[in-house]
């Protein structure tokens, strides 16, 4: 074989070898790529349940925190009272929800308070506070410290309940005199006397009408 033919044969062999080597590299790359994809799928299969578990734990913690906040708010800061009758109509009708603020026991005149009297939860409007003197006239007028009070939202006379308390009533430092908005036959300070500060649960801040829920 001549020298030229020998060089030609060696060139073909080298070319073939390079082609085979390149093919092997491609195969290796493809194999490595396929293995990487397989590992990624396996990793995803393992991490998905873990993520779901983490999301579930986070949701439970957030839900628990919200419930705890609501519990604290409505156990120590705010309270809900359901009006049992129409004694406070038109401010609140039977079944209406009354939200009251627990932390303010220093009530003012015209405040609507929620209080407990003889084991019964009640609500009424404050018309006089500690140190005031309250009297109710024979014709149904309400007098506080010698002045007849004008109640534009009351359209019926406020009569005494004979045989219950004596007038005029001098209120102690921690007492208040309360009347319901409906003045005929309702149980308020004309019936059980002044309300002591220790009986007060809170001051009403919001009334949610039953027919609008």
User: Which of the two residues, 64 and 115, has the higher pLDDT score?
Assistant: 115
Q: Within this chain, do residues 12 and 115 fall inside the same structural domain, yes or no? A: no
Q: Within this chain, do residues 184 and 109 fall inside the same structural domain, yes or no? A: yes
191, two tokens? 């019936």
10 Å CB burial of residue 61 (0-12, 13-18, 19+) is exposed
Rounded to an integer, the average pLDDT of 68-77 is: 73
Q: Within this chain, do residues 90 and 54 fall inside the same structural domain, yes or no? A: no
Angle at 160 between CA 154 and CA 104, to 5 degrees: 60
For the segment 166-189, what is each residue's pLDDT rounded down to a tens digit? 999 999 999 999 999 999 989 999
Angle at 110 between CA 108 and CA 111, to 5 degrees: 60
At residue 29, the pLDDT reads 45
Band of residue 57 on the pLDDT scale cut at 50, 70, 90:
confident
pTM here is 0.68
CA atoms of 200 and 181, how far apart (whole Å): 18
Rounded to an integer, the average pLDDT of 130-134 is: 96
At residue 13, the pLDDT reads 53
Q: Within this chain, do residues 88 and 74 fall inside the same structural domain, yes or no? A: no
Rounded to an integer, the average pLDDT of 140-163 is: 93
Domain boundary among 36, 57, 78: 78
Domain boundary among 33, 58, 78: 78
CA atoms of 180 and 89, how far apart (whole Å): 9
Q: Which of 58-67, 160-169, 198-207 shows the lowest per-residue confidence on average (mean pLDDT)?
A: 58-67
For the segment 29-43, what is each residue's pLDDT rounded down to a tens digit? 444 444 445 555 555
User: Which of the two residues, 69 and 166, has the higher pLDDT score?
Assistant: 166
Would the pLDDT of 47 be above 80?
no
Mean per-residue pLDDT over the chain, rounded: 81
For the segment 98-131, what is each residue's pLDDT rounded down to a tens digit? 999 999 888 999 999 999 999 999 999 999 999 9
CATH number, residue 165: 2.10.109.10
Q: Within this chain, do residues 71 and 104 fall inside the same structural domain, yes or no? A: no
Q: Which domain holds residue 187?
A: 83-212
CA atoms of 59 and 178, how far apart (whole Å): 47
At residue 75, the pLDDT reads 72
At residue 48, the pLDDT reads 76
Q: Within this chain, do residues 41 and 17 fall inside the same structural domain, yes or no? A: yes
Angle at 177 between CA 188 and CA 190, to 5 degrees: 35
Q: Within this chain, do residues 129 and 64 fall inside the same structural domain, yes or no? A: no
Rounded to an integer, the average pLDDT of 57-67 is: 80
Q: Within this chain, do residues 134 and 208 fall inside the same structural domain, yes or no? A: yes
CB 189 within 8 A of CB 178: yes
At residue 66, the pLDDT reads 80
Q: Within this chain, do residues 90 and 56 fall inside the same structural domain, yes or no? A: no
Rounded to an integer, the average pLDDT of 80-84 is: 94
Q: Within this chain, do residues 110 and 128 fall inside the same structural domain, yes or no? A: yes
Q: Within this chain, do residues 107 and 203 fall inside the same structural domain, yes or no? A: yes
Domain boundary among 54, 78, 102: 78
Q: How many domains does the chain divide into?
A: 2
Q: Which residues contact 56 (CB under 8 A, 6 or more apart)?
A: none
User: Which of the two residues, 79 and 69, has the higher pLDDT score?
Assistant: 79
The radius of gyration of the chain from alpha carbons, rounded to an integer in Å, stands at 42
Q: Within this chain, do residues 186 and 91 fall inside the same structural domain, yes or no? A: yes
């Amino acid at each position: 074989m001549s020298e030229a033919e020998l060089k030609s044969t060696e060139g073909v062999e080298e070319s073939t070898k390079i082609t085979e080597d390149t093919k092997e590299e491609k195969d290796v790359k493809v194999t490595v790529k396929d293995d990487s994809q397989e590992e990624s799928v396996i990793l995803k299969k393992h991490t998905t349940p873990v993520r779901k578990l983490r999301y579930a734990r986070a949701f439970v913690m957030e839900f628990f925190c919200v419930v705890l906040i609501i519990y604290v708010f409505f156990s120590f800061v705010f309270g809900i009272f359901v009006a049992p009758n129409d004694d406070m109509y038109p401010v609140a009708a039977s079944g209406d929800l009354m939200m009251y603020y627990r932390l303010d026991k220093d009530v003012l005149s015209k405040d609507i308070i929620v209080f407990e009297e003889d084991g019964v939860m009640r609500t009424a409007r404050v018309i006089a506070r500690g140190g005031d003197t309250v009297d109710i006239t024979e014709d149904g007028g309400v007098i506080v410290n010698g002045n007849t009070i004008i109640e534009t939202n009351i359209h019926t006379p406020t009569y005494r309940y004979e045989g219950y308390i004596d007038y005029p009533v001098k209120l102690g430092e921690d007492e208040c005199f309360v009347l319901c908005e409906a003045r005929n036959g309702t149980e308020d300070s004309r019936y059980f006397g002044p309300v002591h500060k220790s009986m007060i649960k809170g001051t009403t801040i919001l009334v949610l009408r039953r027919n609008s829920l």
